[in-house]
Chain A
Amino acid sequence: MTKTRTGEVSSVQLRQLKPSFSSRFKEFFVRHLQVFFYSLGLLSRTPFATLMTAAALGIALALPAGLYVILDHASQLSGDINSINQISLFMKKDVSEKTLLKIQKKLQAYPEIAQVKHIDRDAALQEFQDNSGFGDALKALKDNPLPDLLVVYPSLTHNDPQQINTLLIDLKKIKQVKLVQLDIQWLQRLYAILHIGQRGVLIIGSLLALAVLLIVGNTIRLAIENRRSEIVVMKLIGGTNSFIRRPFLYTGFWYGLLGSLIAILLVNISLIIINDPLAHLSSLYDSDLFSLGLMGINISATLLLSGCLLGLLGAGMAVGKHLKDIEPK
């Protein structure tokens, strides 16, 4: 009951036809589903424009995704190499052939060691002369400067860094050994390079994620502009902001989904194109380690998810900014 200024008691409030709570609750989901597909329908009405935007998103998403795939494979590859560590024992010069053989035999008996290979200093010099291109220069040397070398291959059951380390300490105790070298330096360098690569992917990924946000945001802004009169009508008949926002958010979602699907397609096509020459290169190294294959399920799923989220977020930003400005006049 409201007492008005004129003194009249107005018992007639604005009564409104209202759906029941359960109906509204159920309809909420039904309508969401409808708007979900309605927004897809709107996109399919302008297939060319939709595809152009989705392709731009696809390219922006494909670049970091593709780089990530390559980096991921590179670190897996180095992981494989990690397990075939070898330790080089450079012997002192005056060690006799006999002692050398004895040491080799002793080491061979270690459970930690799979194999010990002796590289004779004369054979090594010969090989160096043949292959290095310094043949003549080396001939000028009176003495063979190269030491004898024992190459120790740790057994596969004893090749984690901790065990290798203990083995190294043991090997250093042998008094005929001048220098023990674990060939991991190049591995450390590779890791360092991969680390830089990962940072690079992170930077490129962030920048391109921003690009996705901007592309979606701008597209949605245009969509809002195109449907200005519709938004005005919606507001006039009592549409809440969340109701009006909904189709635009779903449009952003669809753009993100389409974009990431295109990105997956692009990355896989690129991988297929790269795989052949890579297999060739790999065969030149007598190895079948180098193969990128196709994009894994995990990376694909991550790409899809982040594409959809970026689409939603970009649309949300545009809608938040521009929907407020449109009011009935």
Chain B
Amino acid sequence: MILFDQVSKRYKGGNEALSRVNFHLKPGEMAFLTGHSGAGKSTLLKLIALIERASTGNVIIGGRNLNKIGRHTLPYLRRNMGIIFQNYQLLYDRTVFDNVALPLIISGFSSREVKKRVHAALDKVGLLRFEKKYPITLSGGEQQRVSIARAVVNKPALLLADEPTGNLDHDLSREIMDLFMAFNQVGVTVLIATHDIPLINQLNKRVIQLDHGQMLTTGDA
């Protein structure tokens, strides 16, 4: 599903965020991406989500080399992934329902389909009763669950999360991780960047470790 082949990323100004990273995440796999702040976790995720481009090497997602994806096909590629951020990236002038519905509306689903799928997604994250509320009235953990609902409403094959529990306490973090595990169990490939080592130690999943932009361990079995 995700293949990094000798991938380096050098930002303007010369600092190398990733240097010759190799790893492979198989379809249906779930892995944690760890490392100290500035180790390159976010950069790696940005390369997958095409927010940044690799300086050298190939990133291949679902069989497609991202180097060959142009500006116009990029949006369609992003629709295949659910992306979750530490700061939720919700639209605060729209209701929970409208936030979750956004990916479906972008893809052109009918209103009936949108309603059905949004309800299903909100139900999965346990927020169905909040559909008419505005995100600002929800707690951090609830907002993160809204953003997860938005990420999975399209049923993407790949879920990416960048410090999804960064702003949450331990119990809430565990709830969020359990949600990701549940999605992984139905076949979704999941890659989560986090530095919450105690939490991931409880979960017994593959851990990919970065250190100063270099792969420390790919955790490959």
Q: A13-B63, A14-B61 are contacts. A4–B24 as well, Cβ < 8 Å? A: yes
User: Which residues of the other chain, B, contact A230 by a CB distance below 8 angstroms?
Assistant: 91, 93
Please state if A237 and B108 are interface contacts (CB–CB under 8 Å).
no
Please state if A23 and B110 are interface contacts (CB–CB under 8 Å).
yes
CA distance A28 to B110 in the complex (A): 10
A sample of 20 cross-chain residue pairs with beta-carbon separation below 8 angstroms, ordered by A number, consists of A1-B63, A2-B63, A4-B3, A4-B24, A6-B3, A10-B62, A13-B63, A14-B1, A14-B156, A15-B80, A16-B79, A19-B107, A31-B105, A230-B91, A233-B90, A233-B91, A236-B51, A238-B76, A238-B106, A239-B75
Measured CB to CB, the nearest residue on chain B to A239 is: B106
User: Which residues of the other chain, B, contact A238 by a CB distance below 8 angstroms?
Assistant: 75-79, 103, 106-107
CA distance A156 to B89 in the complex (A): 78
User: Which residues of the other chain, B, contact A232 by a CB distance below 8 angstroms?
Assistant: 89
Task: Give A69 Cβ to nearest chain B Cβ, in Å.
Answer: 42
Interface status of B150 (Cβ within 8 A of chain A): yes
Give the contacting residue for B75; candidates A1, A24, A233, A240; CB below 8 A. A240
Interface status of A122 (Cβ within 8 A of chain B): no
CA distance A24 to B110 in the complex (A): 8
Interface status of B154 (Cβ within 8 A of chain A): yes
Interface status of A98 (Cβ within 8 A of chain B): no
Measured CB to CB, the nearest residue on chain A to B150 is: A237
Q: Which residues of A contact B (CB under 8 A)?
A: 1-2, 4-6, 8, 10, 12-19, 23-24, 26-28, 30-31, 229-230, 232-241, 243, 327-329
Q: Which residues of B contact A (CB under 8 A)?
A: 1, 3, 5, 24, 26-28, 49, 51, 60-64, 72, 75-81, 83, 89-91, 93, 102-103, 105-111, 113, 150, 154-158
CA distance A19 to B110 in the complex (A): 8
Give the contacting residue for A10; candidates B27, B106, B111; CB below 8 A. B27
With most chain B CB atoms within 10 A of its CB, the pick from A8, A30, A239 is A239
Q: A6-B3, A236-B51, A240-B75 are in contact. List 16 more A-B contacts (CB 8 A).
A: A8-B26, A14-B62, A16-B80, A19-B113, A26-B110, A30-B110, A30-B111, A31-B108, A229-B91, A233-B102, A236-B89, A238-B76, A240-B76, A240-B106, A241-B75, A329-B51
Please state if B51 and A16 are interface contacts (CB–CB under 8 Å).
no
Give the contacting residue for B108; candidates A4, A16, A23, A328; CB below 8 A. A23
Task: Give B38 Cβ to nearest chain A Cβ, in Å.
Answer: 16
Q: A4-B3, A30-B111, A329-B51 are contacts. A236–B24 as well, Cβ < 8 Å? A: no
User: Which residues of the other chain, B, contact A327 by a CB distance below 8 angstroms?
Assistant: 51
Please state if A5 and B5 are interface contacts (CB–CB under 8 Å).
yes
Task: Give B202 Cβ to nearest chain A Cβ, in Å.
Answer: 28
CA distance A2 to B60 in the complex (A): 10
CA distance A1 to B62 in the complex (A): 10
Please state if B62 and A237 are interface contacts (CB–CB under 8 Å).
no
Task: Give B80 Cβ to nearest chain A Cβ, in Å.
Answer: 4
User: Which residues of the other chain, A, contact B156 by a CB distance below 8 angstroms?
Assistant: 14, 16-17
CA distance A276 to B155 in the complex (A): 70
Task: Give B84 Cβ to nearest chain A Cβ, in Å.
Answer: 10
CA distance A237 to B152 in the complex (A): 11
